[in-house]
Amino acid sequence: MSSYVTGIGVISAIGKNVKENLEALLAKRTGISCLTLFESTHDVPVGELKLSNEQLQQMLGLPITKTYSRTALLGMVAVKEALTDAGIKTNSGLRIGLISSTSAGGMDLSENFYKEMLAKPNGGRLRNVISHDCGDSTEKIADFVGIRDYVTTISTACSSSANAIMLADRMLKHNLLDVVVAGGIDPLCLFTINGFSSLMILDNELCRPFDETRAGLNLGEGAGFIVLQREDTLKDKKPYCQLAGYANENDSYHQTATSPDGDGPLRAMAGALKKAGLKPEDVDYVNVHGTGTGNNDQSEGTALKRLFGDKIPHFSSTKVYTGHILGAAGGIEAVYSILSITHDVVFSTYNFKNPMTDIMLTPVVDTIHNAGVNVVMSNSFGFGGNVSSLVFSSLKK
């Protein structure tokens, strides 16, 4: 029994809704630019949404006098759009759940608190620290849209929102819920910029996934959510596609790296196909994790070759548009995978030039229209070797 995708919502550096994101992807227009939201000693490009928290609150009709984390605000935008797109009202009598994910939580407010606290005695607003916990943003989003039946939060680094989507499917299959909104959010904050800088994996230029000259990733911010339903709850709603399969693996190779042999990524991709009842040759497009770091691209590329052999399908990394949005990557790229099926298009890694000498794989560099896309695999690989793959299939399969 498959779960069906009936709604999608996204906000990122390339747009504040699905329409704007799709237009930017098709136009090969990146959202990577200089950081303006706050001051940082690290002068690196980021995928920044050019809207302040106050502007997001105004967009959502929220009182300016109340304080929200940027995580909660970004999530509210995407979840609201996904529910509206699905035509789901939270007072419909259906059992509706929200499974969100994030790695930074309310860190942006916590950083403001400590800055004010250090500036003067008894400085800082304690109410800002209340939002620090990752689950706070989920609760705020659920209250905003009126979801009451089930609310939970997942935080497994960069595989977080892919894992949220997997849990959503299981909740539906076990008849615990009728509708689930699942995905993830992460904001830009000093915590992540400083942390990734300490790992020396931030690129000073636009990231170059799978390129021999790759030098690291660009961080980004945003939120991506999908609405999943069982077939018996669809009524007259025509779904975008179905969530055909998925798998999560843990290769336990290193705290911040996956196995150079691609063991974990291989098992995740193969497991997702097995659950979907599909073969490698059935995959038309892979939205790769493709961060642009030395380890990820080498590990993921090796896994692609081990799984697909000489018949590797079209693949690309959309992180050249949005940056790496950590806990939200799986949710946002799930939306992009669904758009790929819906519009029969393969998005491009347009700035790729030089194949990696040890792998010699070339991602799609020019957008492919009428590409015959029926099955898309979306990869999200996180710290600690927590790696996940999702498989979406058109209703024609």
Please give the model's pTM, rounded to 2 decimal places: 0.96
Instruction: Give the residue-averaged pLDDT of 162-190.
Output: 97
Q: Please report which confidence band the pLDDT of residue 112 belongs to, taking 50, 70 and 90 as the band edges.
A: confident
User: 54 by DSSP, 3-state: which?
Assistant: helix
For the segment 306-323, what is each residue's pLDDT rounded down to a tens digit?
999 999 999 999 999 999
C-beta of residue 300 within 8 angstroms of C-beta of residue 288? yes
More confident of the two residues 116 and 320: 320
Checking if the pLDDT of 82 tops 70, the result is yes
All domains of the chain in start order, with CATH: 3-233 (3.40.47.10), 247-393 (3.40.47.10)
**What is the per-residue pLDDT for 169?**
98
Average pLDDT, the chain: 93
Nearest of 300, 52, 274, 42 to residue 159 by alpha carbon:
300
Q: Side-chain half-sphere of 304: how many Cα atoms within 13 Å?
A: 29
As annotated, the active-site residues are: 158, 289, 324
Checking if the pLDDT of 189 tops 90, the result is yes
* Integer Cα distance of 313 and 59 in angstroms: 40
**What is the per-residue pLDDT for 32?**
98
**What is the per-residue pLDDT for 113?**
65
Instruction: Give the residue-averaged pLDDT of 44-63.
Output: 96
Instruction: Give the residue-averaged pLDDT of 223-227.
Output: 98
Checking if the pLDDT of 228 tops 90, the result is yes
Checking if the pLDDT of 377 tops 60, the result is yes
Checking if the pLDDT of 131 tops 60, the result is yes
Checking if the pLDDT of 253 tops 90, the result is no
**What is the per-residue pLDDT for 301?**
96
Question: Which residue is listed with tokens 């035509």?
Answer: 87
**Phi and psi torsions of 351, nearest 5°:** -100, 10
Checking if the pLDDT of 124 tops 70, the result is no
Listed in sequence order, the DSSP H helices in 90-209 are 107-119, 126-130, 134-145, 160-173, 190-198
Instruction: Give the residue-averaged pLDDT of 345-367.
Output: 96
Cite the beta strand spans of the chain per DSSP E: 3-11, 32-33, 46-47, 96-101, 150-154, 179-186, 222-229, 241-250, 285-287, 314-316, 345-346, 368-369, 375-381, 386-393
Nearest of 1, 4, 3 to residue 239 by alpha carbon:
4
* Integer Cα distance of 183 and 153 in angstroms: 10
Give the range among 8-22, 129-143, 206-220, 263-277 with minimum mean pLDDT: 129-143
**What is the per-residue pLDDT for 260?**
81
Instruction: Give the residue-averaged pLDDT of 368-396.
Output: 93
Checking if the pLDDT of 324 tops 60, the result is yes
C-beta of residue 7 within 8 angstroms of C-beta of residue 82? yes
Interstrand relation of 179-186 and 96-101 (parallel, antiparallel or unpaired): parallel
Checking if the pLDDT of 397 tops 60, the result is no
Instruction: Give the residue-averaged pLDDT of 126-138.
Output: 81
Q: Please report which confidence band the pLDDT of residue 382 belongs to, taking 50, 70 and 90 as the band edges.
A: confident
What string of H, E and C letters represents the secondary structure of 200-264? Answer: CCECCCCCCCCECCCCCECEECEEEEEEEECHHHCCCCCCCEEEEEEEEEECCCCCCCCCCCCHH
**What is the per-residue pLDDT for 61?**
97
Q: Give the pair of three-digit tokens for residue 226.
A: 């999908």
Q: Give the pair of three-digit tokens for residue 36.
A: 């303006």
* Integer Cα distance of 305 and 308 in angstroms: 5
Q: Please report which confidence band the pLDDT of residue 8 belongs to, taking 50, 70 and 90 as the band edges.
A: very high
Give the range among 67-71, 233-237, 272-276, 360-364 with minimum mean pLDDT: 233-237
**What is the per-residue pLDDT for 121?**
75
Cα→Cα distances 285→15, 100, 209, 372, Å: 23, 26, 16, 9
CB atoms within 10 A of CB 367: 16
Q: Please report which confidence band the pLDDT of residue 256 belongs to, taking 50, 70 and 90 as the band edges.
A: low
